[in-house]
Amino acid sequence: MFHSRFRMAACAAALAIAGSLIAAPVGATASSTATVKLLTCTNTKVFKPATFVISCADANSQLTATHWSTWNATSATGTTRFALNLCVPYCAASKMSYFPKSAVRLTEPVNTKHGRLFSSLVVRYRLKGKWKAFSFSWKGDPSF
């Protein structure tokens, strides 16, 4: 009885070790397999958020109703209903304008005290029939 329990425990340990070797890709490191995220205005890390406030100081630019088509270690792309305060005649007197079917792209992941985060965002949206680009970068942000 002792030998069969010992043999079963040894087999279970060997299978666990073999499984962990199979599950990890060859040459993988913690940074290459870690999921890249976004940092919210409340210092929460998020993955594929449906809504996201871009400019924390005034909330004058946001992603809403976002659907991500790709999200990997180098970039993320999707479609969004982009919300932007056009500041006409000035920001305090202006309401948010919404641009459905806008394209969003996140790039330039960096290692931060919060983990690996995307540091660059570009949204392409149509304003009065013309394509515009809104760019935002978190590089140099002390909260990173």
89 located within any domain = yes
19 located within any domain = no
Residue type (1 letter), 76: A
Does the predicted model carry a pTM greater than 0.85?
no
pLDDT at 34: 66
Task: State the total domains in the chain.
Answer: 1
Q: What is the pLDDT of residues 95-111, one digit of tens each?
A: 999 999 999 999 999 99
What rounded mean pLDDT belongs to the chain? Answer: 81
58 located within any domain = yes
Q: What is the pLDDT of residues 31-41, one digit of tens each?
A: 444 699 999 99
The SS3 of residue 133 is strand
Percent of all residues in the chain with a pLDDT value above 70, rounded to a whole number: 76
CA gap 106, 71 in Å, rounded: 9
